[in-house]
Amino acid sequence: MSFKIISLDIDGTLTNSEKKITEMTRKKLFEFQENGGKVILASGRPTMGIKPYADILRLSEYGGYILAFNGGSMIDCKSGKILFEKTLPPHVIPEIYDIIKDYPVGINTYEGECIIAGRQINQYTELEARINGMKIKFVEDFVGYVDFPVNKCLLQGDPEVILQLEKLLSEKYKGQLGIFKSEAFFLEIVPQGIDKAESIDRLLNMLNISTEECIACGDGFNDISMIRYAGLGVAMSNAKEPVKEAADYITLSNDEDGIAHLLMKLHPTVHNVQCTMCNVQ
């Protein structure tokens, strides 16, 4: 089987525990691109939190893609054009803000280089800022301030509270919004139909590349859909158990150059990459 494109989650997959792309992984992804492969960075992160990694991998030179906000914003790195964008219906932000008023959670969205935070700044808000290399701007009137199109809202709080809100919001907005955890302490709120699998499918159709020619790698709950979708779904050994169960192949952890290990199992040809371990578990 041949592969033309690889979709990579960032945190816990492409990057190690220090949030860095190792030299070995970078080298193998360069080789993949030099042999005709394309790289997608598919993450729940905002665009500003993904762009530094796209620059490291030289996606503007090789012609890769960014799927930010789990695919709510799709960017062609070579041209800089936004190929697709979907935002939350404006009425849901005040509704959700009202629902969470009795819960000890923070809420944020994104504006330029800033994380716009409402209600509270907690340890998880600060973690989100560190992960993305963005500043936190706290606003007293979150609903009044956020009068611009929003790709995603993020709720942050202790895991047991996030679990309660996931159930509550999923029931209320079933068929209207995407509600899911990216971490036990992060609850993502995105437009309906936005997840990594649907976003990758949309891009592959634009590029005339088949599902079978796609590899998808991840470690988190929001990676399961793309891992199941891809011709070769790969979980990191540090992945959550449901992610591993969804995968065709389990590679080494993100601290053991798992992506480089995967690519070393593939033999490059001039225009694509041949898989030699599709049935290996």
pTM: 0.86
N- to C-terminal Cα separation, the chain = 16
Confidence at 280, pLDDT banded by 50, 70, 90: very low
Bridge partners of residue 110, in order along the sequence: 115
Residues 6+ apart with CB under 8 A from 195: 70, 71, 178, 180, 222, 225, 226
pLDDT tens digits for range 44-66: 899 999 999 999 999 999 999 99
Give the C-alpha separation, 58 to 92, whole Å. 37
Query: Domain spans of the chain?
Result: 2-85+194-275, 92-191
Per the CB < 8 A criterion, the answer to whether 9 and 42 are in contact is yes
Bridge partners of residue 8, in order along the sequence: 41, 217
Do β-strands 135-138 and 186-191 pair in parallel, antiparallel, or remain unpaired? unpaired
Per the CB < 8 A criterion, the answer to whether 26 and 17 are in contact is no
Residue 268, CB half-sphere, CA atoms under 13 Å: how many?
17
Average pLDDT score over the chain: 92
Closest CA to 106 of 134, 125, 128: 125
Assess if CATH 3.30.1240.10 describes domain 92-191.
Answer: yes
Helix (H) or strand (E) holding 196: helix 196-207
pLDDT computed for residue 1 by the predictor: 56
More confident site: 195 or 276: 195
pLDDT computed for residue 268 by the predictor: 46
Amino acid letter, 91: H
Assess if CATH 3.40.50.1000 describes domain 2-85+194-275.
Answer: yes
Distances (CA, A) of 265 to 21, 88, 105, 184, 249: 19, 41, 43, 32, 11
Do β-strands 249-251 and 232-236 pair in parallel, antiparallel, or remain unpaired? parallel
pLDDT tens digits for range 54-98: 999 999 999 999 999 989 999 999 999 999 999 999 999 999 999
